[in-house]
Structure 1
Amino acid sequence: MVLALAGLSLGACSVGPDFQRPQPLQVSEWSRPQKAAGSQAVATTLDERWWEVFRDAKLSALSQRALSDNLDLKLASSRLQQSRAARQVVTAEQYPDTAVGGSYSRERNSTKGLSDPSGKGGREAFNLWDAGFSAAWELDVWGRVRRQTEAADATLEVAENDQRGVLIAVLAETAQDYLQLRGVQNTRAVTEQNLDVARHSLKLSQLRLADGVATDLDVAEAAAQVATIEARLPALQQRQAQLINALSLLMGEPPQALAAELSADAPIPQTPRQVAIGLPSQLAERRPDIRQAEARLHAATASIGVAKGDFYPRITLSGNLGSQAMQLSDFGSWGSRSFGIGPQFSLPLFDGGRLRGVLKLREAQQQEAAVAYQQTVLRAWHEIDDQLTAYNASQLRRDSLAEAVRQNQIALHTAQRQYTEGVVDFVNVLTVQAALLSTQEQLVESSTGVSLAMVGLYKALGGGWQSVYPLPQTAQR
């Protein structure tokens, strides 16, 4: 009888729908811009450690530190450990529950009571020795427990991809803050260069005033130009301190902990001639949010089976074996033995519609998870298309601004020469210098924007976690 029930449990089918992996929206190839820029995105194997393509040792070092020290990542790892522990609790229901226990007590029963196991009618105290072994196992005839385990596995995958998503965000934020820091430092350097030019113009106007060929207005305008450019520097210093603080926080460090190593100016890391972005067909494997949405759909589907399983009878096989005696010398003898074995059966008859309501809830949750999966995939494609467009457009803008800077530099040299020769007023010099400073700042901002766009592209592609948290063998698809 016992073997027959166990065999029935192992060979039974599972109630509820089997999970079918959804077919995500596919795009045959990445979008191509109408006017291509210098650095091109190519459909070749994705650079998993994409931050290293910048060839910036400091950025690579900060990325490694973030992987080991970032507190958000540690929190995500803790949540993953909790999910693994929760899965262990659920999967334990597949196995028999066994226990062993024992007790000793000195007792005396009431003389007016119904029974006295000592046979002394409550007139004397007696010893009671008791020990035993018990076991219980729910025979998963309908697959309810198997569906619970399936849902727990899917929920664990949700937590794994949550950790991967946090990792991608941390790597991207580290790179973005570092690139912006270098951009601010380069903007400050440009501002200081223009400040030197403005001071030179001020000295020149003062000398010309002394020679009687300039006016007080020229000197005042030159001094105002110097003060205007100087006014830009405090805001840039403030922004630099904020970005260093942001990086310090990402590294799990106190404010300004990285000031000594990051305050020195350095060039803006540039993008390579080709940016490997992988194949469109691999997107669902790389993006943690897509994998997470799929896992949620899987868990919701398995939960329907759990809800349906509650409608069916539960059969539990239980047994116990023990020994009980009032004398220690008798304890363990053949006559003190006791045992019991047999199945237990329970079937819900009336619950006011609770089970049916739970089933409807699980089915509605599965429908929501299916729509959320479609939405996640569609949003991913839009993000990638937007980032590809932004990467190309930022390069075109940078190239145009580089030409504008070159022409403004020529214009400034010409205006200064003509002012010295007395051909033009000093206002012409100030106008051209202001235009040069503006375009130089825009060029630095645009150069930073190109690198930031590439970071955004790799973040949208879901790159970076594969080399740090590779897929377990059981999760390979």
Structure 2
Amino acid sequence: MMGHSPNRDSGQGHRIKAGVRSVWALSLLSLAACSVGPDFQPPQAQQVSAWSVPDKVAASQAVSRDMDERWWDVFHDPQLSALSHRVLSDNLDLQLATSRLAQSLAARQVIGADHYPTTAANGSYGRKRNSAEGLNDPSGNSGKSAFNLWDAGFSASWELDLWGRVRRETEAADATLEVAENDRRGVLLSVLSETAQDYIQLRGVQSTRAVTEQNLEVARHSLQLSRLRLADGVATDLDVAEAAAQVATIEARLPALEQQQAQLINALSLLLGEPPQALHAELAADAPVPQTPRQVAIGLPSQLAQRRPDIRQAQARLHAATASIGVAEGDFYPRITLSGSLGSQAMQLSDFGSWGSRQFGIGPQFSLPLFDGGRLRGMLHLREAQQQEAALAYQQTVLRAWHEIDDQLTRYNASQLRRDSLAEAVHQNQIALRTAQQQYVEGVVDFVNVLTVQGALLTTQEQWVESSAGVSLAMVGLYKALGGGWESVYPLADAQASR
């Protein structure tokens, strides 16, 4: 094996050291460089100083203090709390949103890798024979015999982010990840609200059925009384027919209520990822409608932007659109990439790895767009227009949120006032029915008066049950509009996404 020249090796060593110094200098320059494009500033959304207060306020108050994060527990209904807990792990929509969040997290990891050098190790072996008429033959035998070729090495490349284009890409990816996080929060909030709404409606239907069955017993008693009076000769066939018709009319209400109960149990089964009627044995037994507490904590207006997932999502979209402008501007500047390789190549295995078989290469590469027909300029204009759209969408989202909250506060207050008035109507109709029945027995009034009062009582009782459930539904709608409920059940996913 031939010897090597110390002077030549020394010169190569100096060149390698000079290349390394150049790499460090360019790296420091990259770290000190600023990012192109506008820096994102959180928008100042339209705010209100206090929640609106209706002219006539109901007994149950909505107070401005820290919101109960687990708001479904304020109903003090163990079954509702248990269903809310189960839906967090079993709901398929929530699992889909979690999968989308995992995809966004992986995409963020892919984009973030552009900050770091790319390295690779490679190796190969081949038994070859070149053409005798070709340009060259590494074996030196002019293509008359085959030869071995052993090759192995290490390569690395790194784009110097002098203009901040890669940093802006990562910033946009972070914001897009935040969009996915708040998409999951929105699904979580929707699922919890829908579970509570379906459960309250189910209990409302069961209460209505109980009221209907009570009135059915009263109607049957009136029918029996009419038949006895007919036998005594103090009533007519008309009285008996009207009483029988009243019984049949009330009975006709029950099948529709049974249908509604089955549908609501199915809706809850679907929310929990269960087959139809899977919760029938658990929920078919009658239970009262969950009632709201005397005071409902709804938080402060200034906290709304931190709670509502749609506002957070709109802000994240605006952030991503703003960072994308920097990416588009960065495409106008040169891209500089450092690359290098170090390895060994030999035709004999015994020479492989020796000093003479070494090979290396190091140096920067750059590319600069000169003419593209306006593609880069058009892309920049597109990103700027998208950023303007995202800013308008944010303003619209915040404004819609204030309107939803104001509407829900009004609904919550009005539903309580209606419930209280209907409670008084039920009380008076009960007195009227007892009086009409007594007067009918005494022969003071005819049976039409009894039927009229009984029909009025049944109607007001059903309306009262509906309004009682409506108060609880209004409170659920209020908490949904306020964006509460995901904070205490979401921290694990937040921690994973922030890594």
TM-score range, shorter chain: over 0.9
Q: Counterparts of 1:72-471 in structure 2 under 5 Å?
A: 72-470=93-491
The CA deviation at 1:120 is: 1.1
Query: Residue 73 of structure 2 corresponds to which residue in structure 1?
Result: 52
Separation (CA, whole Å) in 2 of partners of 1:331 and 1:276:
77
The CA deviation at 1:475 is: 9.8
The one-letter code of the counterpart of 2:75 is: F
Q: Does 1:40 align with 2:61?
A: yes
Separation (CA, whole Å) in 2 of partners of 1:107 and 1:474:
52
The one-letter code of the counterpart of 1:139 is: L
Q: Is the 8 A contact 2:26 2:160 kept in 1?
A: yes
TM-score (norm 2): 0.94
Query: Residue 27 of structure 1 corresponds to which residue in structure 2?
Result: 48
Separation (CA, whole Å) in 2 of partners of 1:377 and 1:436:
45
The CA deviation at 1:472 is: 4.6
Query: Residue 23 of structure 2 corresponds to which residue in structure 1?
Result: 2
The CA deviation at 1:2 is: 1.6
The CA deviation at 1:34 is: 0.5
Q: Deviations over 1:350-402 (max 9, x none)?
A: 00100001000000000000000000000000000000000000000000000
The CA deviation at 1:474 is: 11
The CA deviation at 1:473 is: 7.4
- The number of residues matched between the two structures is 476
Separation (CA, whole Å) in 2 of partners of 1:266 and 1:246:
18
The one-letter code of the counterpart of 2:372 is: D
Q: Deviations over 1:91-144 (max 9, x none)?
A: 000000000010001101111111111111111011110001000000000000
Separation (CA, whole Å) in 2 of partners of 1:475 and 1:324:
45
Separation (CA, whole Å) in 2 of partners of 1:110 and 1:225:
107
Separation (CA, whole Å) in 1 of partners of 2:203 and 2:383:
51
The one-letter code of the counterpart of 1:425 is: D
TM-score (norm 1): 0.99
Separation (CA, whole Å) in 1 of partners of 2:91 and 2:282:
18
Q: Is the 8 A contact 2:227 2:240 kept in 1?
A: yes
Instruction: Give the secondary-structure state (helix, strand or coil) at the position aligned to 2:402.
Output: helix
Separation (CA, whole Å) in 2 of partners of 1:75 and 1:219:
60
Instruction: Give the secondary-structure state (helix, strand or coil) at the position aligned to 1:409.
Output: helix
The CA deviation at 1:206 is: 0.4
Q: Deviations over 1:228-248 (max 9, x none)?
A: 000000000000000000000
Separation (CA, whole Å) in 2 of partners of 1:473 and 1:102:
41
Q: Is the 8 A contact 2:157 2:340 kept in 1?
A: yes
Q: Is the 8 A contact 2:219 2:243 kept in 1?
A: yes
Query: Residue 14 of structure 2 corresponds to which residue in structure 1?
Result: none
Query: Residue 17 of structure 2 corresponds to which residue in structure 1?
Result: none
Separation (CA, whole Å) in 1 of partners of 2:255 and 2:344:
85
The CA deviation at 1:4 is: 1.4
Q: Is the 8 A contact 2:181 2:494 kept in 1?
A: no
The CA deviation at 1:50 is: 0.1
Instruction: Give the secondary-structure state (helix, strand or coil) at the position aligned to 1:340.
Output: strand
The one-letter code of the counterpart of 1:360 is: H
The one-letter code of the counterpart of 1:16 is: G
Q: Is the 8 A contact 2:182 2:309 kept in 1?
A: yes
Separation (CA, whole Å) in 2 of partners of 1:368 and 1:206:
75
Separation (CA, whole Å) in 1 of partners of 2:288 and 2:322:
52
**5+ residue gaps, structure 2:** 1-21
**5+ residue gaps, structure 1:** none
Separation (CA, whole Å) in 2 of partners of 1:472 and 1:52:
23
Separation (CA, whole Å) in 2 of partners of 1:474 and 1:60:
26
Residue 67 of structure 1, aligned match among 88, 91, 94: 88
The CA deviation at 1:3 is: 1.5
Query: Residue 14 of structure 1 corresponds to which residue in structure 2?
Result: 35
Q: Deviations over 1:152-177 (max 9, x none)?
A: 00000000000000000000000000
The CA deviation at 1:328 is: 0.5
The one-letter code of the counterpart of 1:286 is: R
Instruction: Give the secondary-structure state (helix, strand or coil) at the position aligned to 1:174.
Output: helix
Separation (CA, whole Å) in 2 of partners of 1:352 and 1:2:
34
Separation (CA, whole Å) in 2 of partners of 1:317 and 1:193:
85
Instruction: Give the secondary-structure state (helix, strand or coil) at the position aligned to 1:101.
Output: strand
The one-letter code of the counterpart of 1:342 is: G
Q: Is the 8 A contact 2:196 2:476 kept in 1?
A: yes
The one-letter code of the counterpart of 2:59 is: G
Q: Is the 8 A contact 2:105 2:497 kept in 1?
A: no
The RMSD of aligned alpha carbons is 1.1
The one-letter code of the counterpart of 1:140 is: D
The one-letter code of the counterpart of 1:379 is: R
Separation (CA, whole Å) in 1 of partners of 2:214 and 2:237:
25
The one-letter code of the counterpart of 1:240 is: Q
The one-letter code of the counterpart of 2:463 is: Q
